[in-house]
Structures are given as structure tokens and as C-alpha cells.
Chains A and B, each alone.
Chain A
Amino acid sequence: NAGVTQTPKFQVLKTGQSMTLQCAQDMNHNSMYWYRQDPGMGLRLIYYSASEGTTDKGEVPNGYNVSRLNKREFSLRLESAAPSQTSVYFCASIDFNTEAFFGQGTRLTVV
């Protein structure tokens, strides 16, 4: 039982490059989330998926796209990376109004 698995752990991109962050959970949770964490800004919601087949924008969706591939997997794509997207990204998996389980995080640097 791995919980939430998030890849990669570290990534350096050049401005304008694209990449996809992968997230998978094995807890049969309906909801999955992507957050970014910046110093002094807390955990800001990028996108979430309340159930398979649905996605909704969070607080800071600009520059990102998501895909809920199936119940287990929720990916985050940066189409054209910008330095402002340098951050630590966390995927989380949640059953309705219970504990959120986080992945290990992805430290992304855009140069």
C-alpha cells in the first residue's frame, strides 16, 4: 500500500519547455488535488478532481492543465514553463471530508 505516489521528485526546466507531473493513489479515493507551495504563501490549489471524469479550477490555475486519467491517476501539465512556476508541487488524495494524503512533492525549478 504505497498511498500517493508522485513523480518526479526534482525537475529543472528551461523557460518554454513542457512537462507532466504524475500522481497515482491506491486508496480508492474519489478526490484528487494539485497544490503548489511557495514560501509564505501556504498550499495554493491549482486544480482538483472531485470524482473521476470531473476537474475544476482552483485558486491559481493559469499556465496549467490537468487530466484525470482514471480513478487512480491525476496528472498536471505545464505547457510552456515560466520562472513564476518555480515551486514545490504536491498531489493529494482525499475521501470526502476525511484525511488528505499527500505525495512526496516535486521540486520544480524553471530557469
Chain B
Amino acid sequence: GENVEQHPSTLSVQEGDSAVIKCTYSDSASNYFPWYKQELGKRPQLIIDIRSNVGEKKDQRIAVTLNKTAKHFSLHITETQPEDSAVYFCAASGQAGTALIFGKGTTLSVSS
């Protein structure tokens, strides 16, 4: 089955800096790659996703890139703010009927 590796496990940045979180996946049939943000004590919520027919997607300060050949995808957050502090999860899924598998998460801390 699918296996998703996520790095780093913790990331500390200064406000205004950029943050990059990287994930690799094992199943070449996977074609959907979402990113979730989880604030302390709350449920995970989708922040951005990308499908295999797209190499990059942006939404304001957040961008995701996908390299299908290398089987890795990354989350980029620019101009970080204290409210970006949270746990971020990458995930991957494939054809209908297959599971959505998550990475172990990255705890991002943004200090002002």
C-alpha cells in the first residue's frame, strides 16, 4: 500500500521567513495530494491540494509543487505569520477505492 514520508518533523522560523515542508510517496498510481493544517485541539482542515496533472498550484501565500517522476511534493509558505503556527500534514491517494494516507506531520512554529 501507499507510504508517505514527511520532513522535517519540526520547523521553527521567524515571522516573515519562508517555510518548506517536503513529502515523498511510494505508490506511483497516487494522483491526489492534499495538505492539511491542524491547530491545537482542533480537527485537520484542508489548505491546498494538487492533482497529478498539475506541477504547481498557488493560493496567496501558500504553494504546492509536485514532481511525479521523483514521487515527491512540497508545501511552501511565504511571509510566515504567527497564525501559521500549527501541525501540517501531507497526504496521498490514488484510484477510487484506495485510501487517503497521511504523513506523520510537521509542527511549524513561527516566532515574532
Contacts and interface: CB of A to CB of B under 8 A. Distances in A.
Given A42-B105, A43-B89, A100 B46 contact: yes
B28 interface: no
Interface of B: 1, 6, 9, 31-32, 34, 36, 43-46, 49, 51, 89, 91, 93, 96-105
A97 interface: yes
A43 B46 contact: no
Contacts of B45: 102
B46 A99 contact: yes
A35 B99 contact: no
Contacts of B100: 33, 45, 48, 92, 94, 100
A56 B102 CA distance: 17
Nearest to B51: A97
Interface of A: 33, 35, 40-45, 48, 50-51, 54, 56, 58-59, 90, 92, 94, 96-97, 99-100, 102-105
A99 to B, nearest CB: 5
Contacts of A40: 9, 104-105
A56 B99 contact: yes
A102 B43 contact: yes
B43 A99 contact: no
Contact of A99 (B6, B49, B103): B49
Q: 6 shortest A-B CB distances, which residue pairs?
A: A42-B104, A97-B32, A102-B43, A43-B102, A50-B97, A99-B46
Contacts of B91: 100
A46 B38 CA distance: 19
Nearest to B87: A42
Contacts of B43: 90, 102-105
Contacts of A42: 6, 89, 102-105
Contacts of B49: 99
Contacts of A48: 99-100
Nearest to A41: B104
B54 to A, nearest CB: 13
